[in-house]
A and B are shown apart, each in its own frame.
Chain A
Amino acid sequence: MQFPISGPAALWLAVLFGFVFGALLQRGGVVDYNKIVSQFRFRDFTVLKIMLTAIVVGGIGVFTLHGFEAAQYHIKPANLLAVGLGGLVFGVGMVLYGYCPGTGIAACATGSVHGLIGFLGMLAGGVIYALTFGWTEQHLQKVAALGKVRLPDLTGVPDWIWFVALAVLALAVFSWIERIERARALAASVPRR
């Protein structure tokens, strides 16, 4: 078999990979509005645990595959103004909606009615974006545009140091989270004032 697979076979794989993705989101509990919003209030840490683990595990694997020329990078352009503004708008929206696009779709499948209403909102947002695309392309996307650049390119610090640092950072964050969670569980087991 020849990798990467393309054509009709890749379309079946898209459904399969999407299926695994959606099942993992549901089994991880991030189809739950409460868990996502509570992350932004530091009352639940499921989202951070999942994302940091995915980044470290995924990153080391994809970096290794790339080293063996078995995978290519797909880097999105660092148009810093547009990406920064987009991140801000997205962050506000994510707390109001309680989902991001992937978890929103998955939440619709698990019975979240407000998730479905927000899904319609996402479609509306897509339409508004398409209508303003000409303007944003001209005025926002070209400001502070660094191109498809990676942190190692920008800093000169090699990949493996980034991954070691990320892994150490993730472990530090996890042990901090676990300590908070233990303290809260203890406080919850004591009768309330």
Chain B
Amino acid sequence: MSNSTDPSAAGAPRRPAYWNPYAIGAGLGILSWIVFAVVNQPLGISTSLSAVSSSCAVPFLGSEGVAANAYWKKTPLKLDYGTLFLVGTFLGALVAALLSRSFRLETVPAVWAERFGAGSGVSRAIVAFLGGALVMYGARLAGGCTSGHGISGSLQLAVSSWVFFLTLFGAGLVTARLVFGPTRS
């Protein structure tokens, strides 16, 4: 079982046909030409998402507490370009999933199930929450995520973005090995 050849297919009831990844990458590259030229914005997700998080802090801190926070003062939540880009990202993925009939409710993904069992929905949820928190904290500490640094920053040859890309990849390799064990090819 653990030696099965293709883990992404192992135990997976679905195998949706995706587009060629090189074509997708080229599409993202061309999208960044257009976005840079037409609206003078880089591609980015995490800046606006952290602004959205300020609304979650209102119940704990009160709206005065949020308004007084130095970080949210710098990036307040408003219906601006970045926030609407997030809305668009959600809608685009939704429509693409519906049109390609690949919308599926998933609580325990196949690779997780292979390692921790199909009934590990609770541990998957806890780890997803913790992982999400780390992702966002790391993105804000670094000043960007896989979009803002990884694609948009790297393509501008920004030093910060290449440092981010390489450290993220290295940490990801080590974490994957610790969580899932060594890969046999």
Contacts and interface: CB of A to CB of B under 8 A. Distances in A.
Interface of A: 3-6, 10-11, 13-29, 31-35, 37-38, 40-46, 49-59, 61-62, 65, 70-80, 82-115, 117-131, 133-134, 136-137, 140, 146, 148-154, 159, 162, 174, 180, 184, 187-188, 192
Contacts of B6: 43, 184, 188
Contacts of A50: 21-22, 24-25, 28
Contacts of B84: 11, 14-15, 18
A100 B114 CA distance: 22
A128 to B, nearest CB: 6
Nearest to B146: A100
Contact of B176 (A40, A54, A162, A184): A40
Nearest to A187: B5
A121 B139 contact: no
B118 interface: no
Interface of B: 3, 5-8, 12, 16, 18-19, 21-22, 24-43, 45-46, 49-50, 52-54, 56-57, 60, 69-72, 79-97, 100, 102-112, 124-125, 127-177, 179-180, 183, 185
- A interface, by DSSP: helix, strand, loop or mixed? helix
A127 to B, nearest CB: 5
B134 A96 contact: yes
A58 to B, nearest CB: 3
Contacts of B138: 85-93
B97 A31 contact: yes
A119 B143 CA distance: 18
Given A17-B34, A21-B31, A33-B111, A55 B93 contact: no
B2 to A, nearest CB: 12
B93 A96 contact: no
B103 A110 contact: yes
Nearest to B167: A87
Contacts of A85: 138, 141-142
Nearest to A133: B71
A191 B125 CA distance: 36
A51 B176 CA distance: 19
A23 B175 contact: no
Given A76-B148, A82-B143, A97-B127, 17 more contacts: A14-B80, A17-B39, A23-B95, A28-B18, A34-B8, A42-B183, A50-B22, A54-B25, A56-B29, A57-B25, A62-B36, A65-B36, A83-B160, A86-B142, A94-B172, A114-B106, A127-B56
B156 A110 contact: no
A110 B138 CA distance: 25
A5 B97 CA distance: 30
A25 B45 CA distance: 13
